[in-house]
């Protein structure tokens, strides 16, 4: 197992080195970048945020603060390019950020359709239109996590319309026109961004009265919602 991991790591390093050389970049300037992680601040964090924003993985302010939204964007980027998605910007992540152009930012997902995006955006609008952007992505990610789980139906439509699953269907807010932010959040969730780290449920702790939902293990809080499994 350790040998396979070593081979994989060396292969990634070799490929990135080749890419760096072919792109005409200075290898030593790439490896000299500081390792960044949650809580770090500085100009290099701002540079990281600008790169992620240019590639479409980050929508927050480039303020030089490595916050939750930056951490989630880094993990999403790492996952898309088969790096260790721990949210730590190490040498390999820096190198990949420096060689990827905007046109290469996302891989095509052939298992979803424009109708899935529209349905998901309508659900996000109904359930989370007052939430920050990352919170709207998180709601979409919960639905996508359910699609992947054997405990739930296996399509976006079936998950959204599972009886009793979402208040927006019961009270009619699902039928509102999707906002532009919700459409963007839906595309991000379908592309694989999961700020919740695998949550299957979310609820507003200020209004939730179900004893069952409070039995779920909470992973994190984003905006007014908590997310759990």
Q: What class has domain 2-104?
A: mainly alpha
The pLDDT of residue 134 is above 50: yes
Q: How many CA atoms lie within 13 A of 96 on its CB side?
A: 24
Nearest C-alpha neighbor of 71 from the set 89, 55, 84? 89
pLDDT band, residue 55 (cuts 50/70/90): confident
The domain 114-228 is classified under which CATH number: 3.90.1150.10, 3.40.640.10, 1.20.1530.20, 1.10.10.2520? 1.10.10.2520
Per-residue model confidence as pLDDT tens digits over 15-24: 555 554 444 4
Using 50, 70 and 90 to split pLDDT, how confident is the model at 110?
very low
Distance, CA of 38 to CA of 27 (rounded, Å): 25
76 token code pair = 């999403």
- pLDDT class for 26, splitting at 50, 70, 90? very low
DSSP-based three-state secondary structure for 58: coil
pLDDT recorded at residue 108: 41
pLDDT higher than 70, residue 106: no
How many residues appear in the chain?
229
Cα distances (angstroms) measured from residue 98 to each of 54, 129, 142, 149, 208: 11, 34, 31, 35, 45
> Domain extents for the chain?
2-104, 114-228
What local confidence, expressed as pLDDT, does residue 3 receive? 60
Best CA proximity match to 30, nearest among 126, 94, 125, 79: 94
């Amino acid at each position: 197992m350790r040998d396979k991991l070593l081979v994989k790591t060396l292969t990634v390093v070799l490929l990135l080195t080749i890419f760096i050389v072919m792109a005409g970049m200075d290898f030593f300037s790439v490896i000299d970048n500081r390792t960044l992680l949650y809580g770090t601040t500085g100009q290099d964090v701002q540079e990281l945020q600008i790169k992620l924003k240019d590639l479409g993985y980050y929508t927050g302010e480039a303020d030089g603060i490595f916050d939750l939204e930056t951490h989630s964007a880094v993990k999403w980027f790492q996952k898309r390019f088969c790096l260790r998605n721990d949210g730590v910007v190490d040498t390999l992540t820096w190198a990949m950020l420096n060689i990827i152009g905007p046109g290469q930012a996302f891989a095509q997902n052939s298992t979803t359709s424009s109708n899935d995006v529209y349905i998901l955006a309508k659900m996000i609008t109904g359930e989370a239109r007052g939430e920050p952007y990352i919170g709207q992505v998180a709601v979409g990610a919960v639905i996508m996590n359910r699609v992947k789980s054997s405990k739930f139906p296996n399509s976006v439509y079936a998950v959204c319309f599972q009886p009793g699953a979402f208040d927006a269907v019961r009270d009619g807010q699902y039928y509102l026109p999707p906002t532009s932010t919700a459409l963007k959040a839906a595309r991000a969730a379908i592309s694989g961004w999961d700020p919740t780290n695998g949550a299957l449920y979310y609820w507003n702790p200020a209004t939730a009265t179900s004893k069952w939902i409070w039995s779920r293990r909470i992973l994190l809080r984003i905006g007014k919602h908590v997310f759990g499994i």
